[in-house]
């Protein structure tokens, strides 16, 4: 009995799930509205302000390092040459302070902001005074001003920024705790709701998994049956072709050979100018021509060279014969050596080569082709390439290609169709080779 379609129960389960998700979303969004406002106005703003404070702190640290070098005199530069660096830091500080002023947390008192601005202004005034002394050539007085005034002012400003950072962190921790408490309350209220949604999803998924498993098991069984039937048909086809080829070569070939010999002996007993001898000679030529065609047909049905000399010789002989018959220029290349390919596998490789070259003649409209056989200790690779019209838009169709894929599957290999950059089509067969047993 074929499994019933899971569409209707699946649609019902999907509708229930979507409805539950919609209700859950409305409930959750209505409860976290305040959390979003709290996070936006306090936590996010606090973090942005802390980033600017860190930027300001880094600038003060750069000023401290510069003033230390100026006092020690380790660098061979006059003090006024440091003014460019001080101006750059001052510009960056002003930019950071302007941004920080716009996002100052609501928890900060206005007097803190004002005190910091006044202290910073005093620092820059002292800095301007120091550079004025340096320009006047009073290097020692300028260094003394740095030691007595600027360094202490810079330390005070750095300490103030550090306190503001601590204040921001404390405010952020309090806000985060409040947010966590809100989320905890929401979490406790929606646990049962989420559990109901999960149960609905699980029931729907289990039903879908069961239905899909039945369908895929049925498809796998049908695929196995099709594969088994295809292999049997190919095997029966090869057995029939082999049998017919043997009959044509052994029975009919021997008969035609005997007829030709008898006609030759009969003609020797007649006068050279006898009309009957001429007719016997014509009949003998017809018999010989029929014998040649019979042998060609026998080789096409099942090449005896494949059984006698193996796959490599059979491919080499077939490529030369095919080029001679069709007029297509075929380049044949062989690389490497490996274990002997068994007759059961060789016939499938040979048939794939036959079908591919026939497609070159029938479909590709190419005057050139290349056949490459690459054999290693573990694998065989056959490539057939042409410069024709290329791979069709739907390369999956066609009985010939289907048969080629079935044969590749029998060989436990894979068949690929590619479009080279130069144009045309390349058919690639790759298959593993069985290793010979060690005695």
Query: What pLDDT, on the 0 to 100 scale, is given for residue 19?
Result: 79
Query: What pLDDT, on the 0 to 100 scale, is given for residue 249?
Result: 59
For residues 48 and 90, what is the distance between their CA atoms, to the nearest angstrom?
A: 21
Phi, psi for 302 (deg, rounded to 5): -160, 110
- List b or e across 369-395, with b for residues whose CB sees 16 or more CB atoms inside 10 angstroms: bbbbbebeeeebbbbbbbbbebbeeee
For residues 229 and 325, what is the distance between their CA atoms, to the nearest angstrom?
A: 35
Query: What pLDDT, on the 0 to 100 scale, is given for residue 1?
Result: 47
- DSSP characters for 362-410? III--SEEEEEEEE-SSEEEEEEEE-SS-S-S-TT--HHHHHHHHHHHH
Half-sphere exposure of residue 200: CA atoms within 13 angstroms, side-chain side: 19
For residues 55 and 89, what is the distance between their CA atoms, to the nearest angstrom?
A: 11
Domain 305-432, CATH 3.40.190.10 — does that match?
no
Nearest-10 Cα torsion for 93, 126, 64, 98: -10
For residues 302 and 233, what is the distance between their CA atoms, to the nearest angstrom?
A: 16
Nearest alpha-carbon partner for 29 in 188, 178, 186, 194: 186
CB 154 within 8 A of CB 64: yes
- DSSP characters for 319-364? HHHHHHHH--EEEEEEE---SPPPHHHHHHHHHHHHHHHHHIIIII
E strand or H helix that includes residue 417: strand 414-418
For residues 128 and 121, what is the distance between their CA atoms, to the nearest angstrom?
A: 11
Neighbours of 233 (CB within 10 A): 12
For residues 48 and 33, what is the distance between their CA atoms, to the nearest angstrom?
A: 22
Query: What pLDDT, on the 0 to 100 scale, is given for residue 374?
Result: 92
Query: What pLDDT, on the 0 to 100 scale, is given for residue 439?
Result: 34
Measure Cα distances from 117 to 83, 88, 97, 120, 164 in Å: 21, 19, 9, 5, 13
Phi, psi for 136 (deg, rounded to 5): -80, 0
Nearest alpha-carbon partner for 334 in 356, 351, 358, 310: 310
For residues 426 and 429, what is the distance between their CA atoms, to the nearest angstrom?
A: 10
pTM over 0.75: no
Secondary structure of residue 270 in the 3-state scheme: coil
Neighbours of 434 (CB within 10 A): 12
Chunked mean pLDDT (size 10), the chain, 439 residues: 63 75 75 68 75 85 84 74 86 85 73 81 87 85 85 86 82 76 76 78 80 82 76 71 65 68 69 70 75 68 75 87 87 84 84 88 85 90 87 60 85 88 88 62
> Nearest 5°: CA angle at 33, between 29 and 35?
115
- DSSP characters for 76-93? SS-GGGGHHHHHHHHHHH
For residues 417 and 426, what is the distance between their CA atoms, to the nearest angstrom?
A: 6
Query: What pLDDT, on the 0 to 100 scale, is given for residue 437?
Result: 41
């Amino acid at each position: 009995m074929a499994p019933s379609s899971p569409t209707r129960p699946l649609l019902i389960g999907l509708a229930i799930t979507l409805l539950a998700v919609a209700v859950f979303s409305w409930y959750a969004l209505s409860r976290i509205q305040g959390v979003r406002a709290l996070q936006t106005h306090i936590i996010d703003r606090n973090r942005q302000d802390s980033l600017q404070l860190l930027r300001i702190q880094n600038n003060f640290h750069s000023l401290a390092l510069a003033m230390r070098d100026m006092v020690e005199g380790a660098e061979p530069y006059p003090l006024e040459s440091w003014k460019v660096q001080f101006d750059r830091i001052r510009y960056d500080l002003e930019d950071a302070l302007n941004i920080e002023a716009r996002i100052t947390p609501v928890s900060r008192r206005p007097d803190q902001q004002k005190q910091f601005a006044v202290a910073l202004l005093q620092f820059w005034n002292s800095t301007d005074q120091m550079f004025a002394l340096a320009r006047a050539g009073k290097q020692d007085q300028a260094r003394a001003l740095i030691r007595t005034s600027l360094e202490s002012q810079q330390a005070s400003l750095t300490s103030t920024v550090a306190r503001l950072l601590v204040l921001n962190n404390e405010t952020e921790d309090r806000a985060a705790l409040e947010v966590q408490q809100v989320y905890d309350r929401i979490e406790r209220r929606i646990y049962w709701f989420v559990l109901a949604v999960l149960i609905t999803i699980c029931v729907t998924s289990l039903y879908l998994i069961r239905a899909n498993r039945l369908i895929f098991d049925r498809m796998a069984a049908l695929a196995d049956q099709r594969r088994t039937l295809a292999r049997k048909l190919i095997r029966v086809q090869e057995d029939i072709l082999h049998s017919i080829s043997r009959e044509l070569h052994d029975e009919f070939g021997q008969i035609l050979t005997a007829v030709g010999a008898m006609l030759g002996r009969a003609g020797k007993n007649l006068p050279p100018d006898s009309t009957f001898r001429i007719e016997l000679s014509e009949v003998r030529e017809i018999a010989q021509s029929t014998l040649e065609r019979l042998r060609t047909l026998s080789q096409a049905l099942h090449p005896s060279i494949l059984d006698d000399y193996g796959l490599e010789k059979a491919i080499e002989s077939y490529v030369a014969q095919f080029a001679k018959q069709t007029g297509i220029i075929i380049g044949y290349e062989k690389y490497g050596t490996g274990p002997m390919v068994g007759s059961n596998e060789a016939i499938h490789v040979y048939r794939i080569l036959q079908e591919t070259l026939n497609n070159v003649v029938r479909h590709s409209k190419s005057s050139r082709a290349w056949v490459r056989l690459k054999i290693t200790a573990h694998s065989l690779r056959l490539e057939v390439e042409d410069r024709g019209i290329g791979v069709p838009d739907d390369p999956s169709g066609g009985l010939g290609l289907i048969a080629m894929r079935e044969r590749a599957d029998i060989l436990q290999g894979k068949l690929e169709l590619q479009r080279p950059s130069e144009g045309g089509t390349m058919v690639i067969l790759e298959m593993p080779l069985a290793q010979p047993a060690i005695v």
